[in-house]
Structure 1
């Protein structure tokens, strides 16, 4: 059976297993805010079977974290029932009062996911996938291999590096790593950290704002290294097979993509049902197999080849560096201005 066909069978099996409540009225519409990345696979694996289960309509807001959170803030947390954000942005949303606590009794599958993912930001939404921010590079062009965050400043990487924009999930992490490169805490000594950021400029071809933009930079040969999130790895390797994930001596940085219910959500019960659905073992298994998201459900089993693409397994997750997003969010506003002074808008 074709892989995606298998995915649909599993997804439909999940539909049957989870349809413990009567079908909801066709008049219901679930509005989801997310990135729109991997849309065709998500339609096949998640959306089509969920529509079948809930007998509801689904509409979407797409865009990057910053744009979508800004829209949600302007509307005072209304207009969306389910909101996908990386943890740095969902933390901002929590601090702005845009999300409501979830009712965990309505999300029974939450008990089957890693403890780290169950309540990463307290009483708010769970993480549906755990990822990493690290460095990817073309092993045929970069020699010696990249083995440390400090390698970003190597002279042999001149005009060959792409950094995430400062308003992306990974952008502020560049500032933290620049501080470490300079031997300081970026929160305590931003001057030294941004001096180190400026020292990266000769190596930087372009800052990217979306995963697809960064993938294209590799595809066209414009860059041979980048700071990236691991969910992009499979697609980069599909375009440039010699690209590898760097084994960094300091470790990669944990990212948790969360799913929350905004305070102005209309379909709160349906939103809980959807969150429970995407945390099910069947959906989590299929999303991982199809190269969409790393699983948080502990019952998911992957082959070594599949696991190599993901932040997968208790040992890997335990070795990740964590970020204090409350401190980062407090500092980020000033960092944006300083970043733009170096790289431009």
Structure 2
């Protein structure tokens, strides 16, 4: 007859193994949680079937989620989604580990801009752009370059993104270009141009909905915007157009990284490879989730209309050096607030 104590120990040991196995097959992902139903349909459920694992999530905005990883010294999540400005902060603070590209073969099929945007760390899984939107029924001639923001006929018609938003510091970069200098090297000429732009500026906005409301009420006819807001903006004001800028819109990348204390690094690489699959990238684009970065994805003109899409458009984008921007940002915020009385 078996010893009852032996049976109990065996049962406890088996339970421990089962628990460890369950833990080993759990992948923790930090992301925003937008488009929850579509992400569940196209990413979560299919990947769980592929890996035989369970996905669990930590949600919130960029700053809060990155701060949690920092507090935990790079532990607690296996994959983290961030905009490139925040992933650069995480890299600078030593919170992420380099990507093993041999375990993410789909990286090779991405646009060059997306493959390795931050020096050996995570790829971009989608791409957007910051540009100018304007009400074509009220602005004539059309806006065709960044310097048009300074046109005299646009007095008291422009809204700028607040300096602490994603697009705000880009105004300083553009102002530096207009002045013929690099704002990272010498910000004085850039802020002189921003001072000259002030008569055209009605208000700084801090959210997309605030910017859309300013167009809807007729308080503004021109603004800087990220392209993901264009659909809602045109629904509110159908005559609003995205300006085709001869000197190029500015790229915004959303990246995926593996924190240095990730518990399941192999599965994290498998997940990143999964979301970069061209067929999934196409499905997400067709269903209004994200713009594709897989170069082989082909969309109809209707499907592509809302996205930063195609080699020609992507090759024409300006890139932001976020290591320089993050180093300059505090000083820029103070100078911006002096101009706009904030």
TM-score by length of 1: 0.83
Cα distance in 1 for residues equivalent to 2:217 and 2:39? 27
Match of 1:319 in 2: 316
Cα distance change of structure 1 residues 276 and 318 upon mapping to structure 2, 3 Å threshold: same
8 A contact 1:186–1:193 mirrored in 2: yes
Cα distance in 1 for residues equivalent to 2:210 and 2:42? 24
Cα distance in 1 for residues equivalent to 2:213 and 2:46? 31
Match of 2:3 in 1: none
Match of 1:244 in 2: 241
Which of 148, 158, 163 in structure 2 is aligned with 1:166? Answer: 163
Unmatched segments (≥5 aa) in structure 1: 1-23
Which of structures 1 and 2 has the bigger CA Rg? 2
Match of 2:58 in 1: 60
Cα distance in 2 for residues equivalent to 1:195 and 1:270? 50
Provide Cα deviations, 1:56-110, integer angstroms capped at 9, x if missing partner. 13222211x3444344333332333222222232222211111111122222222
Unmatched segments (≥5 aa) in structure 2: 1-19
Match of 2:30 in 1: 33
1:148 aligns to 2:145 (yes or no): yes
TM-score by length of 2: 0.83
Cα distance in 2 for residues equivalent to 1:185 and 1:317? 23
* Backbone CA RMSD of aligned residues: 2.5
1:300 deviation in Å?
0.9
Which of 266, 276, 300 in structure 1 is aligned with 2:273? Answer: 276
1:133 aligns to 2:133 (yes or no): no
1:296 aligns to 2:293 (yes or no): yes
Which of 47, 69, 73 in structure 2 is aligned with 1:72? Answer: 69
Cα distance in 1 for residues equivalent to 2:112 and 2:27? 28
1:157 aligns to 2:154 (yes or no): yes
Match of 2:5 in 1: none
Cα distance in 1 for residues equivalent to 2:262 and 2:28? 9
1:264 aligns to 2:261 (yes or no): yes
Provide Cα deviations, 1:297-335, integer angstroms capped at 9, x if missing partner. 122111122223222222222222222333222222211
1:140 deviation in Å?
1.9
Cα distance in 1 for residues equivalent to 2:209 and 2:268? 28
Provide Cα deviations, 1:116-154, integer angstroms capped at 9, x if missing partner. 211122221111112222111221232221111111123
8 A contact 1:66–1:167 mirrored in 2: no
8 A contact 1:31–1:61 mirrored in 2: no
Cα distance in 2 for residues equivalent to 1:71 and 1:344? 33
Aligned length: 321
Cα distance change of structure 1 residues 273 and 343 upon mapping to structure 2, 3 Å threshold: farther
- Where 1:299 maps in the other structure, the secondary structure is coil
Cα distance change of structure 1 residues 39 and 208 upon mapping to structure 2, 3 Å threshold: farther
Cα distance change of structure 1 residues 162 and 32 upon mapping to structure 2, 3 Å threshold: farther
Provide Cα deviations, 1:172-210, integer angstroms capped at 9, x if missing partner. 111011122233321233122112223333433443344
Alignment of 1:80-119 (within 5 A): 80-119=77-116
Which of 20, 38, 42 in structure 1 is aligned with 2:39? Answer: 42
- Where 1:335 maps in the other structure, the secondary structure is helix
